[in-house]
Structure 1
Amino acid sequence: MKGIIGAVLAVAVLMFFVLAPTMEGITVEGQRAMGIFLFALIMWVARPIPIYQTSIIAILILPLLNVVEDQEVAFGTLGFDIIWLMVAAFVLSSAINHTNLGKRLALTLVTKLGTTPKGTLAAFMLANFLVAFLVPSTTARAALFVPLVLVLLEVYKQIPGESKLGKLMTLQGVQNNAFATSMVMTATSAQVLAIGFINQMTGARMGYMEWLMGSIPQAIFSAIVMFFIGYKIYKVKNSLDGLTESKEILKRQLKELGPISDKEKRAALIFAFTILSWATGNYQESWFGFEISTEQTAVISMLLCLLPGIGVLEWKQADIKWDLMVFSAGAYAVGNAFNDTGGAGWMIGGLVEKFGLESMNHSLVALILIFTTVFSHMVFTSKTVRTTILIPTIITLAQTIGMDPVPIAMACSFGIAYTITLVPHSKVNALYFGTGYFTVTDQLKLGLLACAVGSVGISLTYFTWLQFLY
């Protein structure tokens, strides 16, 4: 029923903006672009059809209503460099999963560091952060860690629904997945989408390393603070029966992987090349006379993963989410048209005037935007949809009132990954919830607290580190 109502409302909104007389201060193209933007927005939220199909409709409508002069402009968004970066990230993730390199790292960390329950919690936190570099997929990382958590809790003789350690370990699994994701640009496609909007709308050149360096402080702050808060709330004993047995089970799992294989070594080398190239991007021009961009590096790495004799998997083994690619292309087409025709500026200008934002202290505006972004997942569950709604709006708002749009847009983009308060908000939540160790209420309480801590962490990062960095 929600989907039907949403579809009817979306079409009605579109028809209104197409057929109504042109409003004062906006062009015909800008008004129609606003109608298409709102149509897509309502459809993406209500989901009467899959979100990628809405993007296809939007791409078709743009040239039909003369919002863009040439259909190549709308259709061409599927060839944007940022879309290629998404494809390459999916291939790299598939390569790491296919070779078991991520699992080997996780098992090694837990068996080496998990000498006490507290140490085990810390080991899982560290493992989540390190594996996020290797496995840029939130769901894949959760699928990797949940079985390890279950083995430990079973050996510790923890009872689902009663165990405080079980609650804390699974809830922190949810939260650390999100914190680690917010640190690594390629750890979710929504963050790649956000970087695309920032670069496209501001002329900036933000990439993998700029994201990583900017986001590290807030991610580590949030994880460490919530680690101690959770431990304090649940009062977990730091000595339990079965610790030696649990470590032996995990050691056997690690042993079953066998010696590190040639494929794992090749995957590790390809990944090392990728990180090294991203890390040295700002110096390559002076060193070599040319620069390999973030997107070019990702595509080269993708090719290396697939090349016979060098690579570690075949094309058919790569888990590429093409529906997400099409959705992202549509989001770019609609977002760019809305911005380029002046529709976004007109709408934001009206909001600024109505709420007096132009006279509001910029620091207060930044706090409102950061907290709104982090808690927005309570309304819009999809990270990609929230990115499409919020990041272009935040950039336009910042430009309108005279704020530097890059630091605030980056800070708010870090908050997109915080989908940690309710089970339906992400597949990661569902996987951990399926263990039976925590209730919906448990997650909501600790999740809201973690969102508040994360908002504070992002705000502190914005007012200090990002001002210096960007």
Structure 2
Amino acid sequence: MPHPSCARRWAMPKKAKQADLKKLAICVGLGAAIWAIPAPAGVGLPAWRLLGIFLGTIAGIITQPLPLGAVAMMGLGAAQLTGILTFQAAFSAFANEIPWLIAIAFWLSGGFIRSGLGARIAYSIVSVFGKTTLGLTYSLTLAEALLAPAIPSVAARAGGLFLPLAKALCLACGSDPANGTEGKMGSYLMMTCFLSTTISSAMFITAMAANPLAVNLAAETLGYTISWGTWALSALAPGLVCLLLTPALMYVLYPPQVKDTPDAPAKAKEELKRLGPMSRDEKITAFALGLTVCLWIGGQSLGINAVAAALAGLSILLVTNVVTWEQCLSDNQAWDTLTWFAALIAMAAYLNKYGFISWFSDKVVGMVGGLGLSWQAAFGVVTALYFYSHYFFASGAAHIGAMYTAFVSVSIACGTPGIVAALALGQLSNVMGCLTTYGIGSAPPYYGTGYVPQAKWYQFGFIFSVIYLVVWVGVGSAWWKVLGLY
């Protein structure tokens, strides 16, 4: 049998949250203030007014005067009531692959936990690495990094495979936000595992779906294509340093209450013995998830996308009654995440279509180019601006498509070697996902577990963004010099 609390989020609806009118007024006021300011020269009125609505919605996502999905719906409603977006434009991202992949990953994780397979795997890991929470965390983060080049969707890799495992580990060790025990292990583990996904995604072209887009855009600028090996080798040193630093630094900054568990391996072995042979539901779940992962790895060659692969696995669980559709419908976290994430993607996409992002990029290019800095200093400024502009984006692909070429071009114009600019900005297009709860596909599912408060999420996202930038620019530059890239 799985841990008693494993099925709680499927069975116990949360108490409805009352609207915080003060916070809501601040968010509306922010949007209205931007709306009232005349648009800068070169920015169309629809783009400027959509920016006001977008920033007001982001403020609502951060302060949470209402549940996240409700805030997002209000933002889309405001955009339509004011005529800034049509219905088709406002809801266009609900046809986007990533929000649905995240929602399906939640449902798959329900089967993983409810069947007992999650508890069995969790106890198996604890029996080997369970003497310390730090050891458990390193085993998960390094395992995720090893699978990263084979699974090109970070949302699928995190939400469909490692999040269920991390959740099961937390529950097996008595750490559950429903009981107020998230600090025992889960808060530290979830935040660390999420941050590590942004690093593993940066290390390989095939670790994140948008990386090939960066390679294609770089080829147009440089005149040659960055190979898989060049990308991986150049990211090896900064990536490994970040992967090794993250669990240790988070252990100091956000320490788990339970650090040493010397009796855990023995107890885990006792639990495994009590579980006995794998049940029918566990075997079916293992097969369904195994098939899903295989399709994530090799499906592109067969014309099967990541959502279709996830639906294949979910269909098996539904047909065999391991998971019921009623349970999927009652999974509020999945539907809430689908709603607010898709809404932000839509608004961010139309900020780009309306020309705000290209205007912003041009302003940055002109500003940096006129400073007269050395190429190293200029590239540092360009990198920081590119990185932190990700607060405006709910998708790495959207950010790359809108700003990557312009920022690579201005870096080259300031004297930065082309290959260095292309690789660094391409890799950091993944790392910058650490900033928010919406900036990369792995963020919504990990945040949605409820183990890490939003304020802590943004706090640690910013702290580690600085650390990662320093490592990527510092260690990375030295490593690229050794490799002869400049």
Of the three residues 273, 296, 303, the one matched with 1:291 is 303
Of the three residues 405, 423, 430, the one matched with 1:399 is 405
Distance 1:324 1:444, change over 3 A: closer
Tell me the equivalent position of 1:364.
380
1:265 is displaced (CA, Å) by 1.7
Of the three residues 292, 317, 332, the one matched with 2:327 is 317
Amino acid in the other structure paired with 1:346: W
Distance 1:45 1:248, change over 3 A: closer
Q: Are the aligned partners of 2:192 and 2:247 in contact in 1 as well (CA < 8 Å)?
A: no
Identity %: 19
Deviation track 1:53-74 (CA, whole Å, cap 9, x = no partner) reads: 2322332343444434x42222
Q: Say which SS state the counterpart of residue 91 (structure 2) adopts.
A: helix
Report whether the alignment pairs 1:33 with 2:43. no
Separation in 2, partners of 1:260, 1:372:
47
Q: Are the aligned partners of 1:357 and 1:401 in contact in 2 as well (CA < 8 Å)?
A: no
Q: Say which SS state the counterpart of residue 168 (structure 2) adopts.
A: helix
Report whether the alignment pairs 1:5 with 2:26. yes
Q: Are the aligned partners of 1:370 and 1:415 in contact in 2 as well (CA < 8 Å)?
A: no
Q: Say which SS state the counterpart of residue 41 (structure 2) adopts.
A: coil
Q: Are the aligned partners of 2:141 and 2:193 in contact in 1 as well (CA < 8 Å)?
A: yes
The alignment's TM-score, normalised by the length of structure 2, stands at: 0.62
Tell me the equivalent position of 1:86.
102
Size of the alignment, in residue pairs? Answer: 394
Tell me the equivalent position of 1:256.
274
1:372 is displaced (CA, Å) by 4.9
Separation in 1, partners of 2:167, 2:115:
15
Separation in 2, partners of 1:321, 1:58:
19
1:400 is displaced (CA, Å) by 2.6
The answer to which of 246-255 and 386-395 deviates more is 386-395
1:322 is displaced (CA, Å) by 1.2
Amino acid in the other structure paired with 1:399: T
Report whether the alignment pairs 1:77 with 2:93. yes
Distance 1:85 1:339, change over 3 A: same
Question: Which consecutive unaligned segments of at least 5 residues does structure 2 have?
Answer: 1-21, 145-155, 176-182, 202-206, 219-227, 254-259, 410-420, 438-445
The alignment's TM-score, normalised by the length of structure 1, stands at: 0.64
Amino acid in the other structure paired with 1:31: W
Report whether the alignment pairs 1:103 with 2:103. no
Amino acid in the other structure paired with 1:274: T
Q: Are the aligned partners of 1:348 and 1:400 in contact in 2 as well (CA < 8 Å)?
A: yes
Q: Say which SS state the counterpart of residue 67 (structure 1) adopts.
A: coil
After superposition, residues 94-243 of structure 1 pair within 5 angstroms as 94-114=110-130, 121-127=134-140, 130=143, 136=160, 143-146=167-170, 173=189, 176-182=192-198, 221-225=241-245, 243=262
Distance 1:199 1:312, change over 3 A: farther
Separation in 2, partners of 1:367, 1:24:
25
Amino acid in the other structure paired with 1:414: V
Distance 1:147 1:266, change over 3 A: closer
Separation in 1, partners of 2:83, 2:458:
46
Separation in 2, partners of 1:449, 1:75:
34
Q: Are the aligned partners of 1:78 and 1:329 in contact in 2 as well (CA < 8 Å)?
A: yes
Amino acid in the other structure paired with 1:5: I
Separation in 1, partners of 2:451, 2:84:
43
Tell me the equivalent position of 2:61.
44
1:338 is displaced (CA, Å) by 0.8
Tell me the equivalent position of 1:158.
none
Separation in 1, partners of 2:317, 2:470:
39
Separation in 2, partners of 1:445, 1:324:
21
Tell me the equivalent position of 2:428.
411
Q: Are the aligned partners of 2:57 and 2:75 in contact in 1 as well (CA < 8 Å)?
A: yes
Tell me the equivalent position of 1:275.
293
Separation in 2, partners of 1:314, 1:281:
26
Calculate the aligned-residue CA RMSD, in Å.
5.2
Of the three residues 331, 336, 339, the one matched with 2:344 is 331
1:128 is displaced (CA, Å) by 5.6
Q: Are the aligned partners of 2:93 and 2:346 in contact in 1 as well (CA < 8 Å)?
A: yes
Distance 1:292 1:121, change over 3 A: same
1:250 is displaced (CA, Å) by 1.9
Deviation track 1:152-196 (CA, whole Å, cap 9, x = no partner) reads: xxxxxxxxxxxxxx99x88964664334443677xxxxxx9x968
